[in-house]
Amino acid sequence: MTDKKQKYWSDKITKYSNALDLEQGVFTFKNPRKIALSLKKSAGESNRRKAKPFQSAMSMLNFYINRAGKNLPKNQKKTLEQAKIELRKVFGK
């Protein structure tokens, strides 16, 4: 029997994205600014992304929020939604 985490394609994407090398556990951080800064760093350092750094970082954050969906605890979803605001700030958008 396969591990439940291995069963979902979205889990593989967040772990082995071809666009960004994410800091381990980035989406579990409790501080929205820390999440935003980590995503900015990952997007800025990536040579494999297909879009500009801001778009790549925001896309990965939205992807995670959408795929985690109803399984995401309310407090973590709130933190991730706040990370979107912080991401805009750190990119000057």
Spacing of C-alpha 88 from chain mean position:
14
Contacting residues for 89 by C-beta, under 8 A, at least 6 apart: 36
Of the chain, the percentage scoring pLDDT greater than 70 comes to: 80
Residue 62 has a CB neighbour count (10 Å cut-off) of 12
Q: Which of 65, 64, 43 is nearest to 54 (CA)?
A: 43
Q: What is the distance between the alpha carbons of residues 69 and 71, in angstroms, rounded to a whole number?
A: 5
What digits encode the pLDDT tens for the residues 10-38?
Answer: 566 555 555 577 888 999 999 999 999 99
Answering whether pTM is above 0.75, one says yes
